[in-house]
């Protein structure tokens, strides 16, 4: 083994693994596929993004369109409401406006819903379209990815399944969003409808309020007229609120002054209307009196807030005529009989008297009602002013509290600053100073609280001053009201003596009955209560100021109590704060300062303890390193003792791994120990810094949630930094010392390893020499086997081609075209057989030198060079030879020369070996090595000869198979050809006969057609011409058939003669081709030559065996192996091989025709063919004569008989002289 190989082996790692390098072309192809695949995926993602963008644009445009439609609908609704309000203002509302408005709003809402549904339907359709596009896109790109074939199919499936899952997630999310959008839009639609209905209800309320305002304008309403059926509801309501005076003047006093008589029914109708009117006035008067009583009572007891309730219920005091029961109103007037009105002028006078009375009552009701309504609303503004003044004062009080709070906040801010100083004090002196400042600030804060309460009480007292002005305003309003509505002093109870004395009968009242006078008295009583209310208001004016001032004082007292309570709470909160600050801040900070000092001292003590422990590690390190070096030296000596005991280079080379496995751990351990010590030193320093850092990090400033200030932290930093600098200096000195000791131990271990590896290299070289020689011999055996395998492959190819020819021939026997192709194929096949024979042929046997290979024969006492090739070959092989044996001898010679060269290089170089191995494992000299090698090469020559004999015998069996195949093919082909020719000729005969039968059927069909044309009515004398024409047609057909039957056989006989001549020509060609194959004798010749060579080589082997047996005393190392190979050969082979020996392999066989169909010669086949042709012609003539000519004559007889029968049917009736 060369030095370079040794160095390569030495430099190999312990766990060496070879890595195969892929082909650059494959790498380039895979890179192109990868780029194409990545480009495809990017394009797919871009297309997906484009599809999403396009669909998003469609959705955006559709949503804008939907918004526009919804805005237009809401604009129309808004416009509709504006129109409705305008009509309401002008009192032009239709009767069924509410129903119509409701329908219109429902239509607008339905349009909105349709727009929303269309948009949602569009969203779902767009999502389906998106999915379809994604499906087509993924299908297309997956097909392209499969064509690129960069990734495995299952990986592609996973990739696209992942993409599909992402698309499905997005689709599900979109559908969920669409559902939410649809839900929100429909909810908005419902909400719009609700808002529209609410606005419609507001309009309805506006209408009601408008009607109520009309009610407030008029006290009574007209119920005596009939409503106009064409008038709207609003117009009807307005008419119902006309004043009584207008109605009475228009209806009651419109009668003409004439002497026309009045019917009792008309008068009774008028009288009932007056009764209902008087009843309504009477009940309205009673209701108003009750309202006056309630108002006076409320005013007397000063429950002024209840006047609002009376004001709200005042409209119920007026009674309408439709609310009056007509049966209870008869008492207000005399009956019709009592009045006894006969003429219109009497009725007119009665209406005038009664109208004046009713007018007076109506005016009283209007006056008292208006006074009561105004009186109940006098205090509304006063109550509003009170509320606003209280709100104003409270707001002023709130502003004052805020302003006072800002000053308190300043004290609180100062207090917080001082508390912060107290909390962060770094010594006791600063803490005492901060505590004194806290006490001063707390005293100032209490003084501020008292002053702020006084300011707030002054603000509340302003309310009384403002209310005095409000009282003056209220008194002026009351006086103005009393002035506007002066009282009727005649109604004063003091001035009224008796109610009866106040009644005076005037002339115009003479026509009034007592019932009406009673009603007038009842209505007039309302004015008395009106005077009572006026007088109560006047008395209130005199006493209201003291009452209101008392209420104001009560309110001010309540607010003052709240201010005093707030001051009390502030002082209660402020008094204990000093003690709280002292306990929570001052005492706590003292404890924290003491704790900080203890923490620093504990940290310094812990660091000093770790330094003491670290210095003890240095002695342990030196003891461990010394122990490792001694252990490694002992292990290397043990390996050196085991090197000569190794069996091969692999076992010796394994010691490299053992040495490295031991050296590397030793070096690593020493290095690791040194590094660990250095690292532990550095780590100790880093840990110390880290401990200091953690200590400082654990220290938190007050703004970080801790309890240290900056001055304390600066002091801590200085102490810790001083500690770090001293320790770092000591550790650096330890690291320098450890580095020096490491290199001393490492060099000691390396010298032990170098000595051991030098001896190991020599042992590996010695084993490598033996293994190299063994590999060369193994290569020689492999090359020899490869030549034998190539020879057997050529035999196998010949057998396969022979089998293929046999299979093709079996399926194409008798085919002339195949024979034309077969002949050149078979000639080419024979050429290949001859080439194999030429490669096998070696007529001269190999001469083997069987002399012993001891040193007396291989070298002399002198320095004469020995030719070791002559020890194996008596005659060297031809270097230009190409046959089988020569090539194998060339391999033997080249291998032996190579072995000799390598052995000489090994033994002549003293560096490659040191005689460490035993003599049993390695020959000591070059000559001893070659003696051993030659003892292995001579048996190889005997094996080559035996191998040639075995393959030659096998080749002869193949030649016998080829010869048999050729003979069988010639016989079988000729027989099959005759059979096919005969079958073809018989098929032509059948075709001719079938054609004759078809012609016969056609002639028969023609005769049947003309026979079917013959009718019974043709026998009538009048149809004689038709019968004559039909007879003429039949005669033409009969004559035509006779002419065709005479000529029908001629073309068919000529066709058969032509076929016969073609068959004879093909037989003649076959007779010229087959003899060419039969006359080729090359197979017989090469078989004879091989048999001669086999016989010669067998005799040589017998000679070798006899020579070895006669010289029993010879000491040949290959003697036993040579006899063994030859003996095995003769045991497995026959004693003699003959040229006609039966084939040992499964030879191909051809399927031939049966012996009954075989023909001995071509002349015999042609004779049979002529006989068959003659018999066929005779059969055709008989067929035409018997089946066609005879049938034609028989049909003619039938035809004539039918004609006579038809004519006989009409003989008696029409013409007896016909026959």
Rounded distance between C-alpha atoms, residue 123 and residue 180, angstroms: 12
Where residue 257 falls among pLDDT bands split at 50, 70, 90? very low
pLDDT of residue 866: 59
Q: Would you list the domain boundaries of the chain?
A: 24-213, 245-377, 380-428+441-574, 586-759
Q: Is the pTM of this model over 0.75?
A: no
Query: 66, 203 in Cβ contact below 8 A?
Result: no
- Name the 3-class secondary structure at 859: coil
* Helix extents (H) in 90-152: 97-148
Which of 230-244, 511-525, 832-846 bottoms out in mean pLDDT, i.e. has the lowest?
230-244
Task: Count CA atoms within 13 Å of residue 223 on its CB side.
Answer: 19
Cα→Cα distances 389→3, 456, 462, 562, Å = 120, 16, 10, 18
Q: What pLDDT digit, counting tens, does each position of 910-958 carry?
A: 666 666 666 566 766 777 777 777 777 777 777 787 888 888 888 888 8
Per mean pLDDT, which range of 180-189, 431-440, 766-775, 825-834 is the poorest?
766-775
pLDDT-derived band at 265 (thresholds 50, 70, 90) equals: low
Specify which of 119-133, 230-244, 257-271, 722-736 reaches the highest per-range mean pLDDT: 119-133
CA 68, distance to chain mean position in Å, is 36
Which of 533-547, 884-898, 922-936, 1118-1132 is least confident?
Answer: 1118-1132
Whether the pLDDT of residue 72 is over 70: the answer is yes
| CB neighbours of residue 523 within 10 Å | 26
379 contacts 542 by C-beta, under 8 angstroms = no
Length of the chain: 1219
Q: Which residue has the higher pLDDT, 505 or 589?
A: 589
- The whole-angstrom separation of Cα 1097 and Cα 846 is 9
Task: Count CB-CB contacts under 10 A for residue 88.
Answer: 17
- Widest pairwise Cα distance in the chain: 202
> Over 80: is that where the pLDDT of 880 sits?
no
Q: Which of 169-173, 843-847, 859-863 has the highest mean pLDDT?
A: 169-173
Beta bridge partners of residue 848, listed in sequence order: 873
Q: Summarize the confidence of residues 191-214 as an average pLDDT.
A: 75
Contacts 24+ apart (CB under 8 A), 1074-1078: 1074/970, 1074/973, 1074/974, 1076/823, 1077/823, 1077/826, 1077/966, 1077/969, 1077/970, 1078/966, 1078/970
Provide the total of helices (H) and of strands (E) in the chain, helices listed first.
Answer: 29, 0
What is the number of other CB atoms lying within 10 angstroms of the CB of residue 892? 21
Q: For 362-410, what is each residue's pLDDT tens digit?
A: 777 777 777 877 777 778 888 888 888 888 888 888 888 888 877 777 8
- Residues 670-681, mean pLDDT to the nearest whole number: 77
**Residue 1118 in this model has a pLDDT that exceeds 60:** no
Q: Which residue has 């997630």 as its token pair? A: 169
pLDDT surpassing 50 at residue 227: no
Two tokens at 236? 């009807």
Mean pLDDT on 1073-1088: 73
Are 131 and 14 in contact by the 8 Å Cβ rule? The answer is: no
Residue 4 DSSP SS3: helix
Q: H/E element holding 1111?
A: none
Measuring CA to CA, which residue among 220, 413, 415, 238 is closest to residue 319? 220
């Amino acid at each position: 083994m060369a030095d370079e190989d040794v160095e390569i082996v030495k430099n190999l790692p312990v766990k060496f693994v070879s890595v195969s390098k892929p082909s650059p072309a494959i790498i380039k192809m895979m890179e192109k596929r990868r780029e194409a695949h990545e480009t495809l995926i990017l394009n797919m993602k871009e297309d997906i993004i484009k599809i999403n963008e396009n669909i998003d644009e469609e959705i955006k445009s559709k949503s804008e369109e939907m918004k526009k439609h919804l805005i237009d609908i809401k604009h129309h609704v808004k416009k509709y409401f504006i129109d409705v309000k305008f009509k309401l203002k002008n009192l032009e509302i239709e009767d069924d406006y509410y129903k119509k408005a409701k329908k219109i709003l429902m239509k607008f809402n339905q349009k909105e819903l349709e727009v929303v549904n269309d948009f949602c339907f569009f969203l779902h359709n767009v999502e389906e379209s998106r999915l379809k596009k994604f499906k087509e896109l993924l299908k297309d790109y997956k097909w392209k990815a499969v064509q690129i074939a960069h990734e495995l199919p299952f990986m592609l499936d996973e990739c696209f399944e992942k993409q599909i899952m992402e698309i499905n997630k997005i689709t599900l999310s979109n559908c969920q969003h669409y559902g939410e959008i649809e839900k929100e839009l429909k909810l908005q639609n419902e909400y719009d409808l609700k808002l529209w209905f609410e606005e419609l209800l507001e309009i309805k309320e506006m209408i009601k309020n408008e009607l109520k305002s009309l009610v407030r304008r008029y006290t009574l309403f007209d119920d005596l007229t009939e409503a106009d059926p064409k008038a709207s509801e609003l117009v009807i309501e307005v008419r119902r609120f006309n004043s009584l005076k207008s109605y009475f003047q228009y209806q009651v006093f419109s009668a003409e002054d004439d002497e026309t008589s009045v019917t009792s029914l008309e008068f009774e109708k008028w009288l009932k209307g007056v009764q209902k009117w008087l009843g309504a006035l009477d009940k309205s008067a009673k209701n108003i009196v009750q309202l006056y009583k309630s108002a006076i009572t409320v005013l007397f007891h000063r429950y002024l807030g209840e006047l609002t309730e009376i004001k709200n219920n005042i409209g119920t005091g007026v009674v309408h005529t439709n609310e009056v029961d007509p049966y209870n109103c008869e008492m207000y007037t005399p009956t019709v009989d009592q009045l006894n009105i006969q003429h219109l002028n009497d009725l007119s006078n009665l209406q005038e008297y009664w109208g004046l009375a009713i007018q007076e009552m109506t005016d009283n009701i209007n006056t008292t009602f208006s006074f009561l309504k105004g009186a109940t609303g006098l205090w509304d503004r006063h109550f509003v002013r009170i509320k606003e003044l209280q709100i104003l004062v409270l707001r002023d009080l709130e502003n004052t509290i805020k302003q006072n709070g800002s000053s308190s906040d300043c004290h609180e801010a100062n207090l917080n600053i001082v508390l912060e100083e107290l909390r962060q004090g770094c010594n006791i002196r600063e803490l005492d100073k901060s505590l004194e400042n806290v006490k001063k600030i707390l005293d100032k804060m209490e003084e501020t609280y008292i002053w702020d309460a006084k300011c707030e009480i002054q603000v509340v007292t302003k309310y009384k001053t403002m209310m005095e002005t409000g009282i003056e305003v209220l008194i002026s309003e009351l006086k103005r009201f009393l002035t506007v509505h002066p009282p009727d002093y005649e109604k004063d109870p003091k001035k009224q003596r008796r109610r009866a004395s106040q009644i005076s009968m005037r002339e115009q009242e003479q026509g009034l009955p007592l019932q009406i006078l009673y009603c007038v008295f009842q209505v007039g009583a309302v004015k008395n209560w009106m005077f009572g209310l006026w007088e109560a208001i006047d008395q209130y004016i005199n006493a209201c100021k003291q009452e209101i001032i008392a209420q104001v004082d009560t309110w001010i007292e309540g607010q003052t109590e709240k201010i005093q309570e707030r001051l009390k709470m502030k002082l209660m909160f402020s008094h204990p704060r000093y003690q709280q600050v002292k306990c929570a801040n001052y005492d706590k900070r003292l404890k924290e300062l003491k704790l900080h000092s203890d923490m620093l001292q504990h940290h310094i003590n812990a660091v000093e303890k770790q330094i003491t422990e670290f210095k003890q590690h240095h002695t342990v390190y030196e003891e461990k390193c010394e122990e490792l070096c001694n252990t490694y030296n002992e292990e290397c000596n043990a390996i050196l003792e085991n090197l000569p005991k190794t069996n091969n280079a692999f076992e010796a080379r394994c010691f490299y791994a053992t040495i490295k496995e031991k050296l590397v751990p030793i070096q690593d351990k020493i290095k690791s120990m040194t590094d660990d010590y250095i690292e532990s030193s550095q780590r100790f320093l880093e840990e110390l810094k880290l401990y200091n850092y953690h200590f400082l990090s654990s220290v938190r400033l007050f703004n970080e949630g801790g309890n240290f200030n900056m001055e304390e932290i600066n002091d801590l930093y200085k102490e810790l930094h001083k500690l770090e600098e001293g320790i770092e200096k000591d550790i650096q000195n330890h690291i320098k010392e450890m580095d020096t000791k490491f290199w001393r131990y490492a060099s000691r271990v390396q010298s032990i390893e170098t000595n051991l590896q030098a001896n190991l290299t020599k042992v590996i070289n010695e084993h490598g020499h033996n293994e190299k020689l063994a590999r060369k011999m193994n290569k020689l055996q492999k090359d020899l086997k490869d030549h034998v395998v190539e020879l057997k492959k050529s035999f196998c190819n010949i057998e396969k081609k022979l089998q293929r020819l046999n299979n093709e021939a079996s399926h194409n026997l008798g085919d002339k075209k195949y024979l034309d192709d077969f002949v050149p194929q078979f000639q080419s096949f024979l050429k290949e057989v001859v080439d194999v024979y030429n490669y096998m042929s070696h007529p001269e046997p190999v001469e083997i030198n069987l002399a012993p290979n001891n040193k007396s024969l291989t070298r002399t006492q002198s320095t004469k060079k020995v030719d070791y090739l002559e020890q194996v070959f008596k005659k060297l092989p031809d270097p230009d030879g190409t046959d089988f044996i020569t090539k194998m001898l060339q391999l033997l010679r080249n291998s032996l020369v190579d072995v000799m060269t390598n052995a000489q290089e090994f033994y002549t170089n003293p560096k490659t070996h040191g005689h460490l191995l035993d003599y049993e494992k390695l020959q000591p000299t070059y000559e001893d090595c070659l003696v051993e090698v030659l003892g292995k090469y001579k048996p190889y020559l005997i094996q080559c000869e035996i191998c040639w004999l075995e393959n030659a015998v096998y080749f002869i069996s193949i030649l016998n198979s080829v010869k048999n195949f050729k003979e069988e093919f010639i016989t079988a082909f000729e027989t099959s050809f005759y059979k096919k020719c005969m079958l073809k000729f018989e098929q032509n005969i059948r075709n001719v006969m079938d054609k004759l039968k078809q012609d016969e059927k056609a002639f028969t069909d023609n005769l049947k057609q003309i026979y079917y044309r013959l009718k019974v009515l043709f026998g009538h004398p009048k149809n004689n011409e038709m019968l004559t024409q039909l007879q003429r047609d039949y005669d033409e057909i009969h004559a035509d058939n006779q002419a065709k039957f005479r000529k029908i056989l001629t073309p068919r006989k000529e066709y058969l003669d032509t076929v016969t001549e073609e068959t004879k020509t093909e037989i003649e060609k076959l007779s010229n081709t087959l003899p060419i194959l039969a006359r080729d004798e090359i197979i017989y010749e090469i078989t004879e030559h091989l048999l001669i060579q086999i016989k010669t080589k067998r005799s040589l082997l017998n000679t070798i065996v006899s020579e070895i047996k006669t010289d029993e005393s010879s000491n040949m190392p290959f003697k036993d192996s040579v006899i063994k190979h030859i003996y095995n050969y003769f045991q497995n082979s026959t004693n003699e091989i003959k040229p006609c020996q039966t084939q040992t392999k499964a030879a191909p066989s051809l399927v031939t025709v049966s012996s009954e169909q075989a023909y001995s010669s071509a002349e015999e086949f042609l004779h049979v063919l002529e006989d068959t042709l003659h018999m066929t012609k005779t059969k055709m003539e008989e067929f035409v004569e018997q089946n066609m000519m005879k049938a034609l004559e028989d049909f003619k007889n039938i035809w004539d008989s039918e004609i006579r029968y038809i004519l006989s049917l009409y003989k008696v009736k029409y013409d007896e002289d016909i026959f």
